[in-house]
Structure 1
Amino acid sequence: MSITQLAVVGAGLMGGGIALDAARHGLAVKVHDSRPDGVAGLRERAAGVYARWVRNGRMRPEEAEAALARLLPAPALSDLADADLIIEAVFEDLAVKRDLLATLAPHLGADTVVATNTSALEVKALSAGFGFADRFLGLHYFSPAEVSPLVEVVRADTTSQATLARALDFLSATRRTPLPCLDRPGFAINRFFCPYYNEATRLLEEGVAGPADVDGVARDRLGAAAGPFAVMNLIRPAVAAHAMANLSRLGPFYEPSTALRAQAERGMDWPVGDSRPGADLDAVEQRLLGALALPAVELAAEGVADPDAVDRGAVLALKFSAGPFALMRRYAAETVERAVASLCLRDGHPLPRASLAAQG
């Protein structure tokens, strides 16, 4: 059963991006937002995006007009009853999302697939106790959702195979690249990306290097398009700290640093231009490498996602020149082993049982 009628709950940055892109690909999209002007604001935003795409040659004027016409307001949740797929993209909070799902439940069609755009919450915890748990999964888009091609497809142990197949068909129709993964903290991409930027803040905290030094190593030696401090400023330090905190149950290595928590509380950007005289760039390289390798090896050992797919996802979503597994292959196995072991020893974190040499 194909997805022809999409509904999106939440017309903000992520939900709006999902909606305007799906409309561009020919789907009728009903949009519900709790704010009185939410959908009107989205239509204004969509008109601007489509106009830019027309100027860039990505759309024809008549295609832009048709896409805008496919974005339809849904004042009440009951207006979504005929949707084939509903994607919720409301505030990243378990209680807020479950309250929405409880309110939405009476209005769901018998075959409606429901997806959450959560970046960190457990998918099973969101759907627990609802009668539609078999039709529920995670579709984690990356920002900006209308541009970034990668979508993590998160299957809880209650998600049916039919639901997964319909979600994959939808992503194919909207020309997105799926990254299937299990319902584990951080899923696939944030599982290694959050510890990587968390380690950057530890380096700053310990006086090893400044933000400019760390970002430079990330770009010049590890092949990142932008360094971790620059990226945290884009996503906001508070959001970065929240995402890292969601991984803390995985072990002591995954605890947010004191510096990251403090920066989130201050609500300030990192001073990305600051460097430290005498910064140890080799130490920065080793620790960033270890912070990417340790969670990557763990997620592979747990079967969270296919390593090759994770590497593709890192390139597509994070603009890395190589994902963590490909990056490990650039270094001698002993170098990777040493980098990981030093972090585990520091934090009292268990050494991975899987062979790092085999992963690299």
Structure 2
Amino acid sequence: MKRLAVIGAGLMGGGIALDAARHGLDVLVFDQRPDGVDKLKARAAHVYGRWVKNGRLSQADADAALARLAPAATLSAIRAADVVIEAVFEDLAVKRALFTELEAHLAPSAILATNTSALKVGDLAQGFSFAPRVLGLHYFSPAEVSPLVEVVRSAATADATVEQALAFLEATRRTPLPCKDRPGFAINRFFCPYYNEATRIVEDGIAGPADVDQVAQERLGAAAGPFTVMNLIRPAVSAHAMTNLASLGPFYTTSRLLDAQAKTGADWPLEDRVAGADLDLVERRLLGALALPALELAAEQVAAPAAVDQGAVLALKFKEGPFALMHRYGAVAVEAAVGALCARDHHPVPAFAPVAAA
């Protein structure tokens, strides 16, 4: 495991590249923008410089890491890579078009990872000769810092591909979360509905964004409330991610308010409150919105509950993950919270066995 190729030098691809270079890998970076790699080098110099100042990196190691980042003039350069990670625009057609171009250049022993956050890996790889060598490696932002990576295998992904990906993650000191190829994988499967429900609470006039964020932090143990997080990742990105879960049932329908906010491009007003807001109701609805998808992903065996909880702590900075949270609240409270949402949305009621097992 000596050389990585990253396609797309934007926020996520760039973070993956500069982190891998820091851990000793030679990194080829391809970006269609003429100045894409130059911007990444400048970003890497800034990040490495910050790490030198806070003692995380020596100056010599920072200089060496920067030297390991190299531009790939054409896609043919990726033939030299053991691992190729694509981090282009989150669109099935765009990614499959890239895969078509890569088919002529991917080395026979190399694996191809997609950094998709919600598209099914199987849909991306379907029909390609290298499908057994394709898997998902879903990093969380900022990719150069966040330790969690979801490792997503499709029905076509070979065992050797997963083993090679795990070796790469070990070399770059990342924590893998093995997942089945289901919409939202493990973390976004419950996190997106949670912030979507937050917008529904505001839409219903029960509370304002400030009230909801307060409950999320003080009662559910979130480091930041859902509206604060949506402002960080942008409302349009939040809405797009939620849309990818729509096939899972009526509970996963994007709220009208989230759709509307995404179209405006504006931030959520984090200071807005509702006089006399029912914070207990806010708590029950947020709890239900975390618990319902978590129960479903457990029933579908998308990922192990303990691993999901660890992922929530590492990637989202929750004090505890959804299964630990259900255990704290108890079966009666969880069943009531989940049941209310299922009744409202005419959504199937999940099995509650994981509550007792959490």
**TM-score (normalised: structure 2):** 0.99
State the one-letter code of the partner of 1:150: L
**2:107 match: secondary structure:** coil
Question: Which position in structure 2 is the counterpart of 1:142?
Answer: 140
CA deviations over 1:251-273 (Å, ceiling 9, x no partner): 00000001000100111110011
Task: Identify the match of residue 33 of structure 2 among 15, 32, 35.
Answer: 35
Task: Identify the match of residue 245 of structure 1 among 232, 243, 246.
Answer: 243
Q: Distance in 2 between matches of 1:324 and 1:359?
A: 12
5 Å-filtered alignment, 1:188-337, equals: 188-337=186-335
**2:127 match: secondary structure:** coil
Superposition deviation, residue 355 in structure 1: 2.5
Question: Which position in structure 1 is the counterpart of 2:92?
Answer: 94
| 4+ residue segments displaced more than 2 Å | 353-360
**1:137 match: secondary structure:** strand
Q: Distance in 2 between matches of 1:41 and 1:75?
A: 15
State the one-letter code of the partner of 1:218: A
The yes-or-no answer on 1:80 pairing with 2:75 is: no
5 Å-filtered alignment, 1:147-186, equals: 147-186=145-184
The yes-or-no answer on 1:7 pairing with 2:8 is: no
Q: 1:28 to 1:217 in 2, by over 3 A?
A: same
Q: Distance in 2 between matches of 1:122 and 1:146?
A: 24
Which runs of 5 or more residues in structure 1 are unaligned?
none
5 Å-filtered alignment, 1:48-87, equals: 48-87=46-85
Q: Distance in 1 between matches of 2:72 and 2:140?
A: 24
Q: Is the 2:327–2:356 contact (alpha carbons within 8 Å) kept by the matching residues of 1?
A: no
Q: How many residues align?
A: 358
Q: Is the 1:181–1:305 contact (alpha carbons within 8 Å) kept by the matching residues of 2?
A: yes
**2:347 match: secondary structure:** coil
5 Å-filtered alignment, 1:121-132, equals: 121-132=119-130
**1:224 match: secondary structure:** coil
Q: Distance in 1 between matches of 2:355 and 2:84?
A: 43
**2:178 match: secondary structure:** strand
Identity over aligned pairs, percent: 69
Q: Distance in 2 between matches of 1:79 and 1:285?
A: 52
CA deviations over 1:76-110 (Å, ceiling 9, x no partner): 00011111000000000011111111011101111
Q: Distance in 2 between matches of 1:44 and 1:255?
A: 40
Task: Identify the match of residue 131 of structure 2 among 126, 130, 133.
Answer: 133
Question: Which position in structure 1 is the counterpart of 2:15?
Answer: 17
Q: Distance in 1 between matches of 2:301 and 2:71?
A: 40
Q: Distance in 1 between matches of 2:338 and 2:281?
A: 13
CA deviations over 1:265-296 (Å, ceiling 9, x no partner): 11111001100001000000000000000000
Q: Is the 2:323–2:355 contact (alpha carbons within 8 Å) kept by the matching residues of 1?
A: no
Q: Is the 1:337–1:356 contact (alpha carbons within 8 Å) kept by the matching residues of 2?
A: no
**2:104 match: secondary structure:** helix
The yes-or-no answer on 1:105 pairing with 2:107 is: no
Question: Which position in structure 1 is the counterpart of 2:336?
Answer: 338
Q: Distance in 1 between matches of 2:50 and 2:37?
A: 20
Superposition deviation, residue 354 in structure 1: 4.2
For the aligned residue pairs, the C-alpha RMSD in angstroms reads 0.7
Q: 1:191 to 1:300 in 2, by over 3 A?
A: same
State the one-letter code of the partner of 2:221: G
**1:107 match: secondary structure:** coil
**1:40 match: secondary structure:** helix
Q: Is the 1:142–1:151 contact (alpha carbons within 8 Å) kept by the matching residues of 2?
A: yes
Q: Distance in 2 between matches of 1:81 and 1:336?
A: 51
CA deviations over 1:167-189 (Å, ceiling 9, x no partner): 00100010000000000000000
